Structure 1
Amino acid sequence: MAATSTGVVVAGAGAVLLAGNRAQGHVVGDMSAGVLISATDAGETERYWTDRRMGGATPIDQRADDGVRAASGSVARSKTFGGIPTLGALFFNNGGGDHYCTASVVHSGSHSLILTAAHCLHGGRGGHYARKIAFVPKYDRGRRPYGVWTVKSMTVHRNWVSKGDVDLDFGYAALNKRGGRTIEKAVGYNKLAINQGTGKWVNIAGYPKIVHDRRDHPIYCRTKTKRKSKYQIRMDCTGFYGGTSGSPWLLNYSGRTHTGYINGVIGGYQGGGSTASTSYSPYFDRDVYDLRTAADKRA
């Protein structure tokens, strides 16, 4: 995945990028909702996800092929690649079948968090939390080079649970240790970026529906962010079919370390987009920062 560069400034100890000296948002206080998963359930989850079940899982999101192509150069075109360790497929069962999204490792005090779209963890208003949830870093054509990581807890915003607020369609899962190591120790991590505005170059990577790429590779794209509304941003790039919900939008991506700063995830408006060539993300501000703090407490 090609590297990018932006002019953002590191604040604090490097755990988060800020545009100014305040992490501004529109909600104050602990507005998190979450659930803990027992060690027994985690053990059952690891046994549940056989090669057959992973291969048969379907995207939680359905995104149409709108026929947009990048020949004119007006829309960026995604490319397949072998994946990176901090990016993975997130498998789960929502009561209606086996599904998957995309998730990525984000730096935290517990060294155990992944970040994805809230709708991959909880169904929103009237819904419930996902079950049998597991993260597979650098999943590629059925291969699991870092194994299957089970989840200890999930954390989303209360207003996602009660209202399905698309401006809060992001969430965290804390992973159990594997072989005595945290996920950060095993694969590395990305950092968090908030209040960055738009017009930024980002690298976006995810796992599209296999029917659109029989090779079953992850994809990536380098493009600029645009403003959709006050609390929504967008990007235009082909190939982001179902399965890419939760895909990280990485600022300052380094081709050497294969990491960057997460400035968004595919989700939000239209569940992240109704077509494969235009994707959305909630605008990352103080809410996503505070939710990480709450998730760390459940880790």
Structure 2
Amino acid sequence: MIEAMRFPTVWLCSLVSLTTLLACDPAGEGPAAAPAPVDPRVGAIFPEGGKVHFCTGSVLHSSSGNLILTAAHCLLGGFRATFAPGFSGNAEPADLWQVDDVYLDSRWVAKKDLRADYAIARVSNQHGGSLEARAGSGLVLGTTPAPGTRVTVTGYPAGAGGSPISCQAPTAMTPGGFPALACDGLVGGTSGAPWVSGTAVTAVIGGPEGGGCQADMSYSAPFDEHIAQLLARAEAGGPGDKAPTDYDDGC
């Protein structure tokens, strides 16, 4: 999610299906992200060997226990990345998981289709064991939440060190069919952050404008049969996809 051109919240609300419980509040009294306890199922994504995290990912429940979910625009080609689950301030080598293979929807690979801005990656750790066992559990892959569904979004603002922030708010749907969430403070670095309902991840920050040019409005690619098929392919364990090497969020 990139902070850039900002439009008034009242204008953004007019774009979203407000027959829902979307918490659009022009007075600025709506939901806002705040510091949150560490969730071991959610972590920060770093360039390999780097200290500055730039995106958020989550542990995805799988048979192997070694899959993570994030936004596709977080895992561009040409560099390697690591994932630190439950990150808080620093990460020891034993807490870092190397991204080995990235699985992408063919629509993203072909033309960076915003409806396919999600990625599943297989990870490994030099100390062995599974990521899901280390985290205690993984999030079950769900489907796009119905408008008005209350979700919890936890992510990491970009930077060195730091701790997670989180927000609870009801979802909405844009006229174009993208899940939307009005919550202030989900700033750059929260791209890929999971939208959690119960034990399921039903969306991740991404899609239009890299998840939203405004810090008070976030989006996701829809979760449907395409992402379910992607998980099945990642579970099968074949080779990953070649990711695009460039990306412009339009902000």
TM-score range, shorter chain: 0.7 to 0.9
| Structure 2 residues without counterparts, runs of 5 or longer | 10-23, 239-251
Preserved contact between residue 208 and residue 239 of structure 1 (Cα < 8 Å): no
- Secondary structure of 2:192 counterpart: coil
Which residue does 2:58 correspond to in 1? 104
Preserved contact between residue 105 and residue 116 of structure 2 (Cα < 8 Å): yes
Preserved contact between residue 2 and residue 212 of structure 2 (Cα < 8 Å): no
- Structure 1 residue 151 displacement after superposition: 1.7
Counterpart Cα distance in 2 of 1:140 and 1:228: 34
Q: From the superposition, tell whether residues 109 and 143 of structure 1 become closer, same or farther in structure 2 (CA, over 3 Å).
A: closer
TM-score, normalization by structure 2:
0.79
Q: From the superposition, tell whether residues 280 and 197 of structure 1 become closer, same or farther in structure 2 (CA, over 3 Å).
A: same
Matched, 1:264 2:213: no
Which residue does 1:293 correspond to in 2? 232
Q: How does 1:222-233 map to 2 (within 5 A)?
A: 222-233=168-179
- Secondary structure of 1:115 counterpart: strand
Q: State the one-letter code of the partner of 1:62.
A: I
Counterpart Cα distance in 2 of 1:70 and 1:146: 43
Question: What is the number of residues matched between the two proteins?
Answer: 220
Cα RMSD, aligned residues only:
2.7
Q: State the one-letter code of the partner of 1:250.
A: V
Counterpart Cα distance in 2 of 1:215 and 1:137: 13
Matched, 1:200 2:139: no
State, as a whole percentage, how many aligned pairs show the same letter: 32
Counterpart Cα distance in 1 of 2:78 and 2:88: 23
Matched, 1:132 2:80: yes
Q: How does 1:2-21 map to 2 (within 5 A)?
A: none
Q: From the superposition, tell whether residues 146 and 251 of structure 1 become closer, same or farther in structure 2 (CA, over 3 Å).
A: farther
Q: From the superposition, tell whether residues 144 and 263 of structure 1 become closer, same or farther in structure 2 (CA, over 3 Å).
A: farther
- Secondary structure of 2:174 counterpart: strand
Which residue does 2:89 correspond to in 1? 141
- Structure 1 residue 81 displacement after superposition: 1.8
Matched, 1:274 2:218: no
| Structure 1 residues without counterparts, runs of 5 or longer | 1-60, 123-128, 253-259
- Secondary structure of 1:229 counterpart: coil
Counterpart Cα distance in 2 of 1:277 and 1:249: 15
Q: State the one-letter code of the partner of 1:208.
A: P
Counterpart Cα distance in 2 of 1:221 and 1:141: 20
- Structure 1 residue 238 displacement after superposition: 0.9
- Secondary structure of 1:224 counterpart: strand
